[in-house]
A and B are shown apart, each in its own frame.
Chain A
Amino acid sequence: MKNELDFFDKPENIRFLKILFYISLGLIVIVDFFITRKHIHFPWENIPGVYALFGLVACILIVILAKILGHQWLMRKEDYYD
């Protein structure tokens, strides 16, 4: 096949992207220590980095909750209604 992209199939590129991703994770938490907080709606917003934790926990919670609901209750075979 001509003109086929394969950027994401090379391990060195994936490694590079991973490093970039981890650096941005670190940076976005560090930046939080230096921003000025003008509007605080909830008390936890004074803790730097709290939303990083929130994002991670929210993501894991959603997946776990949905998978439990799905496998215990909601999921059926594809021909269930046929």
Chain B
Amino acid sequence: MIDWLPPGLIFIFGALFIPLFNGKIRQAYILLLPIFAGIILLNMPDGNGYIVNFLSYELTLARVDKLSMVFGYVFVIMAFIGFIYSIQLKDTGQHIAAFLYTGSSLGVIFSGDFISLFIFWEIMALSSTYLIWARKTKASYHAGLRYLLIHILGGLSLFVGIIMNVSETGYIAINVLALSGPASYFILIGFILNAAVPPFSAWLSDAYPEATITGAVFLSAFTTKTAVYVLIRVFPGTEILVWLGAIMAFYGVIFAVLANDIRRLLSYHIISQVGYMVAGVGIGTALALNGSVSHAFSHILYKSLLFMSTGAVLHMTGKSKLTELGGLYKTMPITLTLYMIGGLSISAFPLFSGFVSKSMIVTAVAEKHLTIIWLLLSVSSAGTFLHTGLKLPYFTFFGKDSGLRAKDPPVNMIIAMGIASFLCILIGVYPDVLYKLLPFAASYTPYTGEHVVWTMQILLFTALGFFLLLKHLGGEPCITIDTDWFYRKGVSYFMWFINSPMSQFSDWLNKIIFVIIPSYLVWISKNPVAVMKIASDNVLLRFSSSKKSAQIKHRIKKEKEIYPGEIINHWPIGSTILWITLFLLVYTYYLLS
């Protein structure tokens, strides 16, 4: 067996050579590398490969089975689309960051052990942060910093969990864990933070809209989906994930109503869509897990398509707020058409990719008769169409004419969007291309009469609701507070608490321990006998009659005035030695007896 580099390392090492090339050669290199990685991927043999010794452990860098392969395929396809979309960028740093980010995401997918998983996990966090910072605005700098800190925190939790798990079991291999004991909880928190499960979700809707136009396309694809992958690997059938996922799907939809920035609206829908996948992992049946995998697959394609077309709007108009956009269909018809393919896919219209993937999860929930979960997911479906399929395109491309006359974006961007659109429709029309790749044994037929009719009923009547409420649905020039409030605003209250009451208390404590008490001791030690005399006079004062007390007061005053004065009793050294000898004698006597 020829041990080719695993695809993740191809991207990571490939990133090193980007600065060596320029112009057309660099563009060719950037596009050829994903193709090369794809060819390697297609020829990877099943089983564990690329085993590296690290300390006293064996790291597995290529764990190849159906589950890792299906994620590997879509990641490489996604990387290819993303690089076409961003090929005109002059910023070397962004290309390198995108390469490292893609490579480390693939690294996580093919990791066979927790140590290499953790290493790639951290490279992911660092390289993706650069895609936010590269926008070079004040807002993106701050959002990127928050993003990085939150991910470092998540990575720390994962690290603690891994260390505890390895020391408990002695194994580093990634296997299914039962959710019991602190190790598994730490690992779970690390995972669901990257999956953007509330309350650990605000980093996503905070940072993605601030990222560069091309960076957001990569971001929308990798971080949350690697988290879904590791959840499938480690926590399938963990019940709490069903609830977290359903709440997450609903939460994303509610917050998307309030979003004014088009890329923030889409970011909340990432959270919502990943909620379906997390719920599917929690259900844990073969159908549900297949649903999570296939929904991750189609989600990467349609979400990147949506981010690419909103990115095109931002690129061409410089604006990304619903309140500032409108009437763009006149000059950006291609962008509108491609956007709508993504919008119909995420809304799960029949013949589009979401229909064949999301419904697997919803059906798996229905088969378990989890009515509340099912209701949450189904209401969220209506909400998804309401916003991504109707509200966003209506107020961006139709609605009130904003006067903007931007053209469709450059041809490379259109090609990238075109490929993603083609795949969205291909999967929708011919779901077997996706179903063949699925890792678990469960058959599913999406196109049945009742399924198509019922889905269309929900969607069309959601549209009716949209047009009835149209007046109230426009963007509002506001922002929404989310759990990021706690570290953006809450922290300033915390800092006030630290600064005012806490530091005053510590000043006071400081003064007592290091100033008042020592100086008092020093004062006493100057003449302890006189101090005792003053003290005894004070006691006397308490118990004496008023006639005598004036006299005592006078005496105390005088004693304090002359303090420390002359020390009254000079004990001669001789008598001291006498006393010591006496005590020693007594002591020895007791020792001997």
Contact = CB atoms under 8 A, between A and B. Distances in A.
B125 to A, nearest CB: 23
A35 B450 contact: yes
A74 to B, nearest CB: 5
Contact of A70 (B369, B461, B480): B480
A62 B254 CA distance: 7
B469 A74 contact: no
Interface in B444-489: 448-450, 453-466, 468-469, 472-473, 476-482, 488-489
Contacts of A1: 330-331, 405
Interface string B382-402: 110010000000000010000
Nearest to A41: B366
A74 B258 contact: yes
B460 A59 contact: no
Contacts of A21: 460, 463-464
B464 A56 contact: yes
Given A1-B405, A41-B366, A81-B489, A55 B460 contact: yes
B52 interface: no
Interface in A8-63: 8, 21, 24-25, 28-29, 31-32, 35-39, 41-42, 45, 49, 51-56, 58-63
B458 A60 contact: no
Contacts of B472: 63, 67
A49 to B, nearest CB: 7
A32 B458 CA distance: 12
B329 interface: yes
Interface string B256-289: 0110000000000000000000000000000000
B382 A75 contact: no
A50 B454 CA distance: 8
Contacts of B454: 32, 45, 51
Nearest to B451: A39
Contacts of B476: 75
B469 to A, nearest CB: 5
B382 A58 contact: yes
B371 interface: yes
Contacts of B456: 28
Contacts of A62: 253-254, 257, 379, 382-383, 386
Interface residues of A, number: 45
B462 A55 contact: yes
Contacts of B457: 28-29, 32, 49, 51-52, 54-55
A36 B406 CA distance: 49
A69 B254 contact: yes
Nearest to B365: A41
Contacts of A77: 478-479
A4 B478 contact: no
B450 A78 contact: no
B367 interface: yes
A59 B461 contact: yes
B378 interface: yes
Interface in B350-374: 363, 366-367, 369, 371, 374
B333 interface: yes
A54 B374 CA distance: 13
Residue from A21, A62, A74, A81 with most neighbouring chain B CB atoms (10 Å): A62
Interface in B477-527: 477-482, 488-489
Given A28-B453, A74-B481, A81-B488, A52 B460 contact: yes
A53 B480 contact: no
A58 B366 contact: no
A77 to B, nearest CB: 7
B257 A66 contact: yes
Interface in B310-352: 329-331, 333
A55 B258 contact: no
A52 B461 CA distance: 6
Contact of A54 (B329, B378, B463, B488): B378
B382 A70 contact: no
Interface in B410-454: 448-450, 453-454
A25 B457 CA distance: 8
A67 B378 contact: no
Contact of B449 (A6, A35, A41, A75): A35
Contacts of B383: 58-59, 62
Contacts of B458: 51-52, 54-55, 58
B378 A70 contact: no
Given A42-B371, A52-B457, A59 B466 contact: yes
A58 B254 CA distance: 12
Interface of B: 253-255, 257-258, 329-331, 333, 363, 366-367, 369, 371, 374, 378-379, 382-383, 386, 398, 405, 448-450, 453-466, 468-469, 472-473, 476-482, 488-489
6 contacts: A29-B457, A39-B448, A41-B369, A62-B386, A63-B472, A74-B258
